Amino acid sequence: MQFELSKEFLERFREAINSREEDFIKKSLEGIKIADISALLEEFESHETKYVLDLLGQEVTAEIINNLEEDTRGKFLKAFDSGEIAEVIRELDSDDAVDIMNELQVKEREEVISLLDDKEKEKHIVELLRYEEDVAGGLMAKELVKANLNWTIVRTIEEIRRQAEKVEKIYSVYVVDNNDILLGRVSLKKIILANDTTKIKDIYDKNIISVETYRAEDEVAAIMRKYDLEAVPVVNVQGKLVGRITVDDILDVMQEMAEEERLLMTGITEDVEEDDSIWMLTRARLPWLVIGVFGGLLSAEFMGLFEKDIVEGAWIALFLPLIQATGGNVGIQSSSIVVQSLANPSAFEDGLWKRLFKVFLIALLNAVFLSIIVYISTFIMGFERTHGLIVSLALFSVVILSSLVGTITPLTLDKIGFNPALASGPFITTLNDIMGLGIYFYTIHVFVNALG
């Protein structure tokens, strides 16, 4: 039952815009969901989008602007003056309104606020602008329905009616005392099934989950997932109900978190997509590639110290890829397991030393197994036994060390406030590569001296 955007329709629509076919445009967008209209308009230039929106009325325009991707919207809003933006802001829920306000220059923002002529909205927006975008306070909307403990059902339904236009999806009515302290909730189902004269305090659910304004967005997502919530009330430090986060925003947060992790793991420095410009895509990819290249040059410089060894024993060079690839694979596996357990924290996490000891045991098992494979294989491949032994021993050490580094790095990054997924990215991989080389040549030296 979804509206399917086709290339044919896109072309027909483009034609309609060019030839200003108002009727066709209005008719073909009738009954189409906002999200689909937004996806369609993403394909057009700002002035074309503006032409279409002017035909659709203020409320739809506001919702569509709210739905556009951030970079399209940024470009698009440049064609708007403060008065027009204020009209858009007036139509939106406070959380969405603030997201747009956050994209404006400070001066423009002030202008828009002064033009709102809706005292309540103005108050809401000024309050929400105080919060960082990635904490509960920055995700919440001020629109919600609350009821006093002492109200009857009839009084509560009146309140729902009063708020109906402002709060699109109600889910629950939050129950507060005279000081706005959050006490619990009543589901709409309960309200429908209760008698008109029943008092809220006799039917409300005290066992309610709420989050504080300062909670990070990933914590909020984890809480909503854990307790299967479709909305969660937000309280300030005094326990006062100050807003509500709905699950649709959390779906977006989870998507963004997955994307951020993917970018970090692959060393892409900007939030790019395949359809961004060639220049943007290149710019996002080059920084880490350049750092990787300098890592490679550093490796060359380092190995230059051992040039004599390589000339005397070319077998040394042949096993470089083996050592480096294995070190890389072990390191990235170790760090991804830590990243996963940081994303799903358990209440009973082991301490650091117990964790490292376990990692060490796993690494030991892997290292023994892989070294034996390599020793036997080099024998079969006809390499000298000492050379096979040296390679196996170097591999053994690389597996152990890469495991430990792969475990400690994400834990450290997390502790100092970085995304631990960075540890699976090219920066750490480059460091690991250089460390692997060091171990390899160190082992060679120790053994070539020992074995003559």
Residues from 310 through 329 that contact its own copies (CB under 8 A): 310-311, 314, 316-326, 328-329
Number of residues this chain uses to bind its own copies (CB under 8 A): 135
Should residue 257 be labelled a site residue for its own copies when binding is judged by CB under 8 A? yes
Residue from 79, 126, 290, 451 in contact with its own copies (CB under 8 A): 290
Q: Which of residues 208-247 bind its own copies (CB under 8 A)?
A: 208-210, 221, 223-230, 235, 246-247
Q: Does residue 358 belong to the site contacting its own copies (CB under 8 A)?
A: yes
Q: How far is the CB of 34 from its own copies (least distance, A)?
A: 8
Q: Work out which of 114, 195, 340, 412 binds its own copies, going by CB under 8 A.
A: 340
Provide the pairing of β-strand 211-212 with 241-246.
unpaired
**φ, ψ of residue 439 in degrees (nearest 5):** -60, -45
Length of the chain as a residue count: 452
Residue from the set 272, 356, 435, 448 that interacts with its own copies by CB under 8 A: 272
Using CB under 8 A, pick the residue from 61, 82, 94, 336 that binds its own copies.
Answer: 336
Residues 161-190 that bind its own copies (CB under 8 A): 161, 164, 169-171, 187-189
Nearest distance in Å: CB 73, its own copies? 16
Our finding on whether 106 is near its own copies (CB under 8 A) is no
The answer to whether the CB of 171 falls within 8 A of the CB of 216 is: no
Of 164 and 446, nearer to its own copies (C-beta) is 164
Closer residue to its own copies (CB): 90 or 292: 292
* Interface with its own copies (CB under 8 A), residue from 49, 82, 213, 366: 366
CA–CA distance, 165 with 262 (Å, rounded to integer): 39
282: contact with its own copies by CB under 8 A: yes
The answer to the question of residue 270 lying near its own copies (CB under 8 A) is no
Q: Could you say whether residue 307 binds its own copies (CB under 8 A)?
A: yes
Residue 293 as a binder of its own copies (CB under 8 A): the answer is: yes
> C-beta of 434: minimal distance to its own copies in Å?
8
Name the minimum Å distance from CB 37 to its own copies.
Answer: 12
Residue 154 is a binding residue for its own copies (CB under 8 A): no
Site residues (CB under 8 A) for its own copies, limited to 22-61 = 31, 33, 35, 39-40, 42-43
> Does 207 interact with its own copies (rule: CB under 8 A)?
yes
397 binds its own copies (CB under 8 A): no
Among 196, 252, 270, 384, binds its own copies (CB under 8 A): 252
The CA distance from 159 to 170, in Å, is 12
Residue 55 identity (one-letter amino acid): L
Q: Contact between 250 and its own copies (CB under 8 A)?
A: yes
- Choose the binding region for its own copies from 5-13, 78-86, 101-109, 114-122 (rule: CB under 8 A): 5-13
The correct pick among 381, 417, 450, 452 for binding its own copies (CB under 8 A) is 381
Q: Answer yes or no: are the C-beta atoms of 232 and 155 closer than 8 Å.
A: no
User: Applying CB under 8 A, does 435 fall inside the site for its own copies?
Assistant: no
Decide: residue 323, CB within 10 A, 0-12 exposed, 13-18 middle, 19+ buried: buried
Determine if 150 is a binding residue for its own copies (CB under 8 A): no
